[in-house]
């Protein structure tokens, strides 16, 4: 198409330029997609997490959820199962709590969050449970697997592998049919998956143990570790669960990796009723707490028949 600019008025020239666009080609009309429906005024709050579920702690009844049966990376909430294996062994033989766990180089060099116990240092099983659950000790999970695995092993099976197998078998016993483990800490690995609904089943079982409840509700714990030479060193473990700073929250476990996002399993109580909430794949560490608080508040008001502001 050819225009003779000299024969065109200024208004016509401007109109032609607008029609042709910057490239000299005829401009295409803008196509807009239909608007999404307006936000509903009722129902659960908007959250950043990819999956969530909330349940009655006593009965296990699912009260509400979204994508709760979708398999996702669990990050360090894996350690609830690691702890459960230890709890069950100690239930069979209470002397287990006084056994000494010595950290190997493999445990010490485990990447990610750490209890900061060094190679060759040792401490009791009971003390190490704090190191597993408060600072989210990836190294502590490996130390537990290496310590207890040999007594769980079958022929020609390494102790570490036996511990992971026991985690998987325990998941099936609890009806966690969409869960599979590849390590005791939750660092990303193919096939290491769970669902929010399965985490309810696991957490309810772990919360049956007083030792677990006491540990996950502890905000700060001072431990003494023994060196190979016989000396002692103090370590302070602080719980990564910010909810413990607020009345009504009873703990359980945080977890974060790039693949999993920010995860949080928590337990809260009002008027004698306890709920367990699992949030998987929140957009940030801060977001998992905002998501959880909003979901708890909505549940107390709309589902759990607790509309009072205590």
Q: What is the CATH number of the domain that holds 192?
A: 3.40.710.10
Q: Where are the alpha helices (DSSP H) in the chain?
A: 10-20, 79-92, 105-108, 125-133, 138-152, 159-173, 196-206, 210-216, 285-302
Q: Does some domain include residue 91?
A: yes
Q: Which residue, 78, 84, 50, 104, is CA-closest to 181? A: 78
Q: Does some domain include residue 22?
A: no
| Catalytic (active site) residue 136 | yes
Give the model's pLDDT for residue 81: 98
The pairs formed by 209-215 with CB atoms below 8 angstroms and a separation of 24 or more are 209/84, 209/87, 209/91, 211/87, 211/90, 211/126, 211/129, 212/83, 212/84, 212/87, 213/250, 213/251, 215/83, 215/129, 215/130, 215/133, 215/134
Give me the number of domains the chain comprises. 1
SS3 12: helix
The C-alpha atoms of residue 196 and residue 174 are separated, in whole angstroms, by 14
The C-alpha atoms of residue 222 and residue 24 are separated, in whole angstroms, by 73
Q: Tokens for 95?
A: 């002397």
Q: Does some domain include residue 228?
A: yes
Residues of the domain holding 287: 51-302
Q: Does some domain include residue 272?
A: yes
Q: Does some domain include residue 99?
A: yes
pTM of the shown model:
0.87
What are the backbone angles phi and psi of residue 191, rounded to the nearest 5°? 90, -5
The C-alpha atoms of residue 140 and residue 130 are separated, in whole angstroms, by 9
| Confidence band, pLDDT 50/70/90 cuts, at residue 308 | very low
Q: Does some domain include residue 33?
A: no
Q: Does some domain include residue 195?
A: yes
- Please check whether residue 122 is in contact with residue 143, taking contact to mean a CB–CB distance below 8 angstroms: no
| Catalytic (active site) residue 180 | no
Q: Does some domain include residue 29?
A: no
Average pLDDT, stretch 148-176? Answer: 97
> Which candidate in 115, 136, 141, 266 is catalytic?
136
> Which candidate in 79, 141, 205, 266 is catalytic?
79
Predicted confidence (pLDDT) per residue in 246-299, tens digit:
999 999 999 999 999 999 999 999 988 999 999 999 999 999 999 999 999 999
253 is in an annotated binding site: yes
| Catalytic (active site) residue 76 | yes
> Which candidate in 50, 76, 113, 141 is catalytic?
76
């Amino acid at each position: 198409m050819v225009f003779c600019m000299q024969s065109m008025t200024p208004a016509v020239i401007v109109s032609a330029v607008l029609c042709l666009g910057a490239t000299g080609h005829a401009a295409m009309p803008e196509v807009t997609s239909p608007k999404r429906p307006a936000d509903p005024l009722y129902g659960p709050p908007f959250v950043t997490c990819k999956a969530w579920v909330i349940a009655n702690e006593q009965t296990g009844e699912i009260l509400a959820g979204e994508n709760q049966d979708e398999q996702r990376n669990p990050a360090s909430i894996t350690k609830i199962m690691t702890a459960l294996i230890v709890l069950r062994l100690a239930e069979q033989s209470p002397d287990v709590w006084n056994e000494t766990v010595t950290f190997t180089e493999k445990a010490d060099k485990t990447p990610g969050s750490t209890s900061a116990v060094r190679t060759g240092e040792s401490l009791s099983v009971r003390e190490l449970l704090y190191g597993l659950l408060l600072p989210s000790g990836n190294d502590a999970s490996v130390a537990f697997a290496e310590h207890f695995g040999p007594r769980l092993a079958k022929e020609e099976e390494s102790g570490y592998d036996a511990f992971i197998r026991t985690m998987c078998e325990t998941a099936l016993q609890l009806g966690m049919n969409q869960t599979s483990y590849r390590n005791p800490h939750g660092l990303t690995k193919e096939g290491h998956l769970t669902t929010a609904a399965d985490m309810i089943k696991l957490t309810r079982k772990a919360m049956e143990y007083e030792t677990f409840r006491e540990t996950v509700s502890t905000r700060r714990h001072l431990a003494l570790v023994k060196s190979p030479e016989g000396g002692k060193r103090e370590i302070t473990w602080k719980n990564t669960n910010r909810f413990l700073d607020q009345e009504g929250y009873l703990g359980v476990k945080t977890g974060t990796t790039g693949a999993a996002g920010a995860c949080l399993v928590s337990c809260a109580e009002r008027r004698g009723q306890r709920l367990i909430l699992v949030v998987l794949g929140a957009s940030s560490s801060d977001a998992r707490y905002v998501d959880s608080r909003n979901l708890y508040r909505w549940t107390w008001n709309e589902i759990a028949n607790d509309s009072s502001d205590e």
